[in-house]
Amino acid sequence: MRFNRTIVAGVAAAAVVIAGGAYFLMPGGKPAGGPPGMAAGPMGGGRPLPVIVTRVTYEMFDDHIEAIGTSAANESITVTAKVTGVIRSLNFDDGQFVQKGEEIAAIDAGEPDARLNVELANVDEQRKELNRIMGLAESNNVSRARVDQQIAALKKAEANAAAARARVGDYRITAPFAGVLGPRRVSLGALVSPGAVITTLDDISTIKLDFAVPETFMATLRPGLDIEATTTAYQGELFKGQVVSVDSRVDPVTRSVGIRALIPNPEARLKPGMLMVIDLIKDRRQSLMIPEQALSPENNKNFVFTVGPENTVDRVEIKIGRRRLGAVEVVEGLKEGDLVVTEGIMDLRPRSKVDIKNKDKIGAGLPSADMRDASRGPT
C-alpha cells in the first residue's frame, strides 16, 4: 500500500513540472497565449495574418476561337486581251497603282477606228436629212410616213456607230476598279489574241480572309464579330477586322462552316495568298473578374474571402461563369469594388484579422460596414 502511494505521488509531481514548463510568464507577469508564432484566432486575437488582396473590377471578357485562313484581295482579276492585234502601248509599270477607268494598254485598232469614222459620218448625214425632211413636213410638202422613215434611218445609223465604238473599245484595256497592277506579261509590239494575259490587277485596300470553324460554334457566329489575325511575315503584330458573312451551309465532310472576314489594309502590307492565324472573338461583354487563385472550392461550391471593416475577413459563396487563363468570371456573390484575398488563404478563418501587404496597389481604402453589406450579392 505504501509502495502504490509513492508511485501516485511521483506521477503527480511530474505532471506539475511539465505543466509548469508549458505555463511560463511573459514580461510583466502576463501568461503567454501559446507557443511562439501562433496565428490569430477566429475572433481576431493575436497577430494579423499577412495577405495579398485584389479589388473586384469589371473587365472586357470574351470567348476565342482559333482558326487558320488564307488572305485574298478584295477584288482581283487577270487582265487579258479581248481581240487579236498588236500591242500599241503599255501605260503602266510593274506594281503601279491605277484608278478605275485608267487605260492600262492599247491594241492597234486601225481598221475598227476607220469603221467607226464611217458610221459617225453616216449618223451626221442621216441627221441632216431628217432636219431637211422635217422642214418640208411643216409646209406639208412630204408625208408623215416619209418623216417616220427618216427617223428610223437615223436610229439605225446611231446603232451602227455605237456598235463600231464598242468594237474600238475592245482594243483599249482599262482598269475596272482601282488597284495595284502586277508585272507585265507582254511586250510592246507583241501580237496577242483573245485571252492573252497582259497583267493582273488587285484591290488590296481591304483583305478578304476565308476560314472555317467547327459547326459546334454555329449558334454564336454572326456578321460583325471581331477578329485578330497574325502572320509570320509580321511577328508580334495584330491585324484587326470583322466577320462579314457566315456560310449558309455546313461542310458534310469536315463538319465546319465557312466564314469570311475583312481586314482594312490601307498601307498594302498584307498580300493575297498569305497564311494567317485567326483569333475569332465572340460573346464579348463587361464582366466582374477575379484571379483564379482567390477561389476556395468546396463540395461543388466556390468561396472567396472578402476583406471588410477593421481588416477582418468573411467567407463568401460565389457563383462563377466562364474562365480564361488565370482569371474567372463572377456571376453572383460579389460586386465591383469588393476586396478579395488572393494570397494567404490557407490560414484564414471567418472574422480573422489580416494585414494587407499591398495596400499601395489597391487604390481607395477599405469599404465601411454599410458599404460592404450593400455591395455584396446573395451568398
Name the burial class of residue 247, with classes exposed (0-12), middle (13-18) and buried (19+) by CB atoms within 10 angstroms of its CB.
Answer: middle
Q: Which amino acid is at 308?
A: G
Confidence (pLDDT) at 44 = 46
Q: Is residue 21 assigned to a domain? A: no
Same domain, 248 and 302: no
Same domain, 90 and 181: yes
Confidence (pLDDT) at 232 = 92
- pLDDT value at 12 more than 50: no
pLDDT in tens, 362-377: 755 444 444 344 344 4
Same domain, 277 and 300: no
Q: Which residue has the higher pLDDT, 8 or 132?
A: 132
What are the residues whose beta carbons fall under 8 Å from the beta carbon of 69, sequence distance 6 or more? Answer: 209, 210, 211, 229, 261, 275, 276, 278
pLDDT in tens, 297-336: 888 889 998 888 788 888 988 988 877 778 888 888 888 8
pLDDT in tens, 234-287: 998 999 999 999 999 999 999 999 999 999 999 989 999 999 999 888 766 777
| Distance, CA of 246 to CA of 215 (rounded, Å) | 11
- Find the mean pLDDT for residues 353-360: 82
Report yes or no: 192 and 84 within 8 Å, Cβ to Cβ: yes
Quick one: which of 202, 194, 214 has its CA closest to 178? 202
Q: Is residue 7 assigned to a domain? A: no
pLDDT in tens, 207-241: 999 999 998 888 888 898 889 999 999 998 999 99
Same domain, 94 and 190: yes
Work out the mean pLDDT of the chain and round it to a whole number.
81
Same domain, 219 and 175: no
Domain closes at, from 260, 283, 306: 283
Same domain, 263 and 307: no
Same domain, 133 and 278: no
Q: Is residue 16 assigned to a domain? A: no
Q: Is residue 15 assigned to a domain? A: no
Q: Which amino acid is at 217?
A: F
Domain closes at, from 221, 256, 283: 283
CATH of the domain at 293: 2.40.420.20
Same domain, 185 and 91: yes
| Distance, CA of 121 to CA of 181 (rounded, Å) | 38
Instruction: Report the domain count for the chain.
Output: 3
Confidence (pLDDT) at 141 = 79
- pLDDT value at 84 more than 60: yes
Same domain, 82 and 192: yes
Percent share of the chain, pLDDT over 70: 82
Q: Is residue 3 assigned to a domain? A: no
Report yes or no: 116 and 227 within 8 Å, Cβ to Cβ: no
103-107, strands of its sheet edge to edge: 172-174, 103-107, 85-90, 191-192
Q: Is residue 215 assigned to a domain? A: yes
0.75 exceeded by pTM: no
CA angle 132, 133, 137 (to 5 degrees): 125
| Distance, CA of 342 to CA of 331 (rounded, Å) | 18
* CA dist list (Å): 306 to 130, 208, 362: 98, 49, 14
Q: Which residues pair with 354 in a beta bridge?
A: 49
Confidence (pLDDT) at 16 = 37
Please report which confidence band the pLDDT of residue 57 belongs to, taking 50, 70 and 90 as the band edges: confident
Name the burial class of residue 137, with classes exposed (0-12), middle (13-18) and buried (19+) by CB atoms within 10 angstroms of its CB.
Answer: middle
| Structural domain that includes position 220 | 65-73+202-283
Report yes or no: 325 and 312 within 8 Å, Cβ to Cβ: no
Q: Is residue 82 assigned to a domain? A: yes
Domain closes at, from 225, 259, 283: 283
